[in-house]
Chains A and B, each alone.
Chain A
Amino acid sequence: MTEIFGVPAAVLAGQILLGLINGSFYALLSLGLAIIFGMLNVINFAHGAFYMLGGFVTWMLFSYLGIGYWPGLLIAPVIVGLIGAVSERLLLRHLYRVDHLYSLLFTFGAALALEGLFRYVFGAAGKPYPQPAELSGGYNLGFMFLPLYRIWVIVIALAVCFGTWYAIERTRLGAYLRAATENPSLVQAFGVNVPFLLTLTYAFCVGLAGFTGALAAPIYQVSPGMGANFLIIIFAVVVIGGMGSIVGTILTGLALGVVEGLTKVFFPTASAITVFIIMILVLMVRPNGLFGRER
């Protein structure tokens, strides 16, 4: 058995893989969080709840309607995105005028309500979701077993992250969005429907969280608490990465997942707090985050 720093290579590689998967989820979620913050100036506390909602919608589609993984992966984000659009349009929009604090508290309440509702209806226990048959196998690399589904998660997560980056940085719609962040009233004066653009942004980012939930369903079980566990970590990711750059957020998410996986190997007891310790260190050295700008 090959050993690296006294640890079997298989264990090490396994944890790195797990770290990459967690990192992909962190990247997808913190990407949405950072974009919502950038465009709407709202810290979306309900992001974790929407992630949970995505997982639950996928699970409900499967167990009540018999709709399988692949359609579910498309339907769940759309449903979650629509819910997000409606809540932005009817409620969240009225809080842009007042202190940011209130939109944060509002989404905090929404997260509590959603989590409480699902816990009440479905109970706290996790609900297993089967892996899609097409992705159930894996490759034996000699030193470790590589499940196919996990490769799929990493690949699709990276593709979606890249797509989002491309849409914002390289398309006309993205240019409108970025302009609307800088000066909403001027962009509105040019005939761009800024309020609609904001609704679209919120719906898209929340849908992204729903998509992440659907992706996570076969790996972790679907449970009402699944979002709350991730939420605080992605907050830390956003603080570490800084809000300024999309690429920075994606990279930070991935890197933190891997670092967390590695600490599980070397200091198992510290793995839960690694992200927060890194956050403290980064704050001491670079208060605006690794990729952040002063704002």
Chain B
Amino acid sequence: MSVQSTTTTGLSRAGVSKRMLFFIGLVAAALAAPFFVYPLFLMKILCFVLFASAVNLVLGFAGLLSLGHAAFFGGAAYVAAHSAKVWGFPFELAILSAVAFSTLLGFVFGFLSIRRQGIYFAMITLALAQMIYFLAIQMPFTGGEDGITAVPRGRLFGVVDLGDSLTMYYVVLALVAFGLFVIWRTVHSPFGHVLAAIKENEARATSLGLQPNRYKLIAFTLSAALSGLAGALKAISFQVASLLDVTWHMSGEVVLMTLIGGMGTLIGPGIGAAFVVAMEHYLSTSGLPITFIIGVIFMVCVMLFRKGIYGELRAWYLRRAGRD
């Protein structure tokens, strides 16, 4: 027994240092990446990494399948683009107002949808998001099908010119890293443990005196805020806010990213987002039907790889480690 416990601590200590190494490697790669790959493409990946991780916060860690997150992502993109272009907000203020908008929207949507569970929750979030989509089509300021184009990137704190894509990349990287840090902290906090408890057994969590709906609402609002941050960053760095970002296809796609990468894991959604964005990028010039391919990947993932890329790899690794 004592032998076993020492090996476990030894393993976990080795695991921690490995994890540190992996983390340092990841940061180094992210810092060096724009010198090898087109920065705009990287920024797109980063925004979706944050978006998918935010969705995963409610889907993977609280067990709430939202099919309406495009409303936060695309809605915040519109707010950021409009406030930066028409009202002349500086970069920071445009991002902040967009996040404030998505937070508020997330609170309202969450308040309405958390009354119902499971499948109903998914349907309600979907319908609410569709309302935002129709509003985006009809409101004059969104520019309808064309969206808001030629959004100025502005200057960071009035000093640093963001017109340069390399500078913009590092700003996006810093903000996305901040968002991911918030998610990581949330998951490992007492709050995150309560969420996990609610996901595992809601009745028991209630019997322990917790109020599941309150926790779910906070998690949902936080997830909406971070999705809004991702959408706002995408709008400013690409200088466009488009109707595409509020469609239900977008809500579905981000769930797909989370699913492909690995639901309920911290880095899985990031891997999934990078995979899907890169795939779309390379397919877009091939003339193949992207929606069809994405749909098929979706079906294959659900049928065969429900744990996702990261989850399957980890399971394979653990199996191998167990056999040795």
Q: Hey, which bits of chain A sit against chain B, CB under 8 A? A: 37, 43, 91, 94-95, 98, 100-102, 104-106, 108-117, 119-120, 228, 232, 235-236, 238-239, 269, 272-273, 275-277, 279-280, 283-284, 287
Contact = CB atoms under 8 A, between A and B. Distances in A.
**Interface size band for B:** 35 or more
B128 A280 contact: yes
B111 to A, nearest CB: 10
Interface string B221-262: 000000000000000000000000000110010011001000
Nearest to B127: A236
Interface of B: 65, 67, 112, 115-116, 118-120, 122-124, 126-128, 130-131, 134-135, 137-138, 248-249, 252, 255-256, 259, 289-299, 301-303, 306
Nearest to A112: B295
Contacts of A239: 120, 123-124, 127
Prevailing SS type, chain B contact patch: helix
A93 to B, nearest CB: 11
Prevailing SS type, chain A contact patch: helix
A283 B126 contact: no
A114 B295 contact: yes
A106 B123 contact: no
Nearest to B109: A280
A116 B127 contact: no
Given A116-B291, A232-B130, A109 B112 contact: no
Given A232-B248, A276-B127, A276-B131, A109 B295 contact: yes
A106 B302 contact: yes
A117 B289 CA distance: 7
Contact of B115 (A37, A279, A287): A287
A216 B65 CA distance: 32
A105 B303 contact: no
A272 B124 contact: no
A111 B299 CA distance: 10
A287 B295 contact: no
A244 to B, nearest CB: 12
B134 A116 contact: no
A287 to B, nearest CB: 5
A105 B135 contact: no
